[in-house]
Chain A
Amino acid sequence: MKKYYALLLLVPLLFGCNKSEATDHVHKAEMIHEHDRCHLCGMVITKYPGPKGQVHLKAEKTVPKFCSSRDMFNFALQPENKRQIDYMMVHDAGTTDWDQPDDGAFIDAQSAFYVYGTTKKAVMGPAVAPFSTKAAAEAFAKEYGGRVLRFDDITLELLAGDK
């Protein structure tokens, strides 16, 4: 019996390994709490409609969150921030409510499709509406206007251009 106790000591090691592997590859979203304020504009994030965003940094534990995917890009595209970013998450407007997006619907920003120039209102300027599939983005653009863009198409010039 006694020798089995020694085996128990190994159990935490097993979990330890699994955990570090998982965090290396899986992009995890943080919840947005009712007291969270937009890292850029300072507003209470959940007070206003539209898909939100969050930026996970390489060196910082804090995860800046944003009132809109637009403000997330406004932050992430600044030259001093670009280099510090590990990954970004945005609400999938195709699978969650526009006015009160659910935090279960966060998707990776890099692989998302975006509709820009839509009549749907978010906050802090025209919405940058993220979708997990091209089909969903196209359907949305058909209904509410706007054009479908990829992650790399979203630039500060674009955001500054047509307000």
Chain B
Amino acid sequence: MVGFILRRILYIIPTLIGISIVSFVIINLPPGDYLTARIAQLELQGDTTSRHYLEQLRSYYGLDKPIYTQYFIWITHFIKGDFGISFEYNKPVRDLIGERLALTILLSVSTMLFTWIVSIPIGVYSATHQYSIGDRIFTFLSFAGMATPGFLLALVLLVFVLFRFGTSLLGLFSPEYVNAPWSFAKFIDLLKHLWLPVVIIGFSGTGSLIRIMRGNLLDILGQPYIFTARAKGLKESKVIWRYAVRIAINPLVSIAGMSLPGIIGGEMLTSIVLNLPTTGPLFYRALQMQDMYLAGSFLMFLTIFLVLGNFIADLTLAWLDPRIKYD
């Protein structure tokens, strides 16, 4: 087991290096660099003091050096915790992204829990009542969920909520807490607002999880050992939950890791529409303004989060399913 974990960690390292290279390439994709444009603009205004400062920044980030040197300078800074400067906000990227990343992760993890809590019972129901009216309705709903883009659902629900409840449910915090420091009361307030985005983001994921759970369970229910369990007179509920569902859930654990990218994407689009204080809107703005250190850092952190999520899913699966070999 220890060897398995170590090997998995070793696999992560090249992935992380690759991710950093891609993020860096994306940072540098737009033609020209921000500083040059900014210096030209300042010169027109006859401003020389800022120019000096910007020149300092340029040599600090090595922007006058070849691209591979720039990468090494950037990645060394990154590991030390200096993610560069957001030119748009004129602030270190580190100060801008911390809380937003935390909220994105909170939102994604809550969404994942939500999809599991909703889809496992429905999947079990659909499989045990195959082709019943209920199964058909859930099948249709889950297909509809998979087909509806989350951000459009957000838009429609937004209008509905506005009419029905007023503005009280929008955003992640009530107005009095938006700029307040973190406290227990603020946390409770956050929980009260969390459900709406969670439902919106989770809608499509729930659909596919229901389908997968239903399919898995149907496969398992045909197995001889289920037949044996029934033949020896076990209660049906025990056969289903203790014998069949326990095994049918295993593939869902590995899917949990794989479904994270979709949740992050959905979270991002939904947050842009609902203007939540998570990574989505800031990332979107950073891309539009070509504020590339900010955008690149977001991309990098989200991907690291995904890699870690996959890693945890692998470990959980190995722990849950004794049939998996560690070598």
Task: Say if A and B assemble together.
Answer: no
Interface residues of A (CB under 8 A from B): none
Interface residues of B (CB under 8 A from A): none
